[in-house]
Amino acid sequence: MTNSVEVPAAGGASASGPARKGWNPTLFLVFPTVGLLAAFLVFPYLNMVVMSFRNPSTSQVFAPGFTLGNYLDALLDTDLYYLEILLDTMVLGAATTAICLVLGFPVAYHLARTSSRFKSVLYAFVLSPLLVGVVVRCYGWIIILGNNDGLINTTLMDLGIIESPLALMYNTFGVSVGLVHIFLPFMILPLLGAIQSIDPALEEAAQSLGASRFRTMLRVVFPLSLPGVQAGTVLVFVLTISSYVIPILLGGFSVMIMPTLVVQQLMDAMLWPFGAALAFILSIAGALVVYVYFRLTSRAIRGIA
């Protein structure tokens, strides 16, 4: 998960840079954080950058000398094997993000507007995926989705609705289910904040002017919640493209995405320089997508105070 935290931080830093004025002693307070990030994020990353340019070796971690070969091998592979996996990763990220947005928006809207006394219970439900460890949650899904003895398949077969089990796991479907489940809170919470800051009178104004509930959503609520949409989608996207545990547990090796591939290269094949290069290709591709997305969406958001 450490890998996943880094990408939004880099994206955020490039998007906002308030001008600093003078020296403020309270800045000492940021040193522990800066120190931690430097020690455990920046240095390892720099080490990985250097590693990705090293010569591969069969007997050691790397051989002496530097090369661009690792990147060229990944990018210029004649079967486009690695680029295809990169594209699959991005598509999985986009799909998970889109599903989270579609599923999360109504929940966020309801939570933002409800006056129910069970509001705190609803909050707890939204956060519940985060309250259980990732491995435990995935085993929960395995029990439900299992291809041979999973709850859904055995039930449907016992009822005679299907003859042979459905392929619910070890494919993109199973991975998406797990990812959406776990990342949904990361979509709902920013949306919730954004929707809560929209004056309910605006919706009433729209209705009084003749807009149906649906058109009110489309023309007033959604545009005004775009800052939350932007934050939520970026969060879920970067979390998805860098997720490892869920795709491995629910997808096995039949759903190959970049993080799986990187770990395979590093741990199984012990190809550290090549694995590092792949990791960087993923990071840069992810950062690029986020950057372009930010530029496009920020233009739409500019009208909102």
List interacting residues with another protein (CB under 8 A): 199, 201-202, 204-213, 215, 219-220, 223-224, 303-305
> Beta-strand (E) ranges in 88-219?
none
Radius of gyration of the chain from its Cα atoms, rounded to whole angstroms: 23
Of 1, 4, 5, 13, nearest to 294 by C-alpha is 13
Residue whose CB is less far from another protein, 153 or 216: 216
To another protein, the closest distance from the beta carbon of 47 in angstroms equals: 46
If the CB atoms of residues 80 and 300 are measured against another protein, the closer one turns out to be 300
Count Cα atoms within 13 angstroms, Cβ side, for 118. Answer: 5
Q: How near is the Cβ of 196 to another protein at its closest, in Å?
A: 15
Q: Quick one: 221 or 279, whose CB is closer to another protein?
A: 221
Least spacing, CB of residue 186 vs another protein, in Å: 25
Instruction: Tell me if 243 sits within 8 A of 259, measured CB to CB.
Output: yes
Do the beta carbons of residue 286 and residue 87 sit within 8 Å?
no
Angstrom distance (rounded) from CA 35 to CA 103:
39
Judged by beta carbon, residue 29 or residue 201, the one nearer another protein is: 201
Shortest Å distance, C-beta 44 to another protein: 43
Cβ of residue 121: shortest distance to another protein, in angstroms? 21
Q: Are 120 and 263 in contact (CB under 8 A)?
A: no
Query: Which residue number, 105 or 274, has a Cβ lying nearer to another protein?
Result: 105
d(CA 143, CA 149): 8
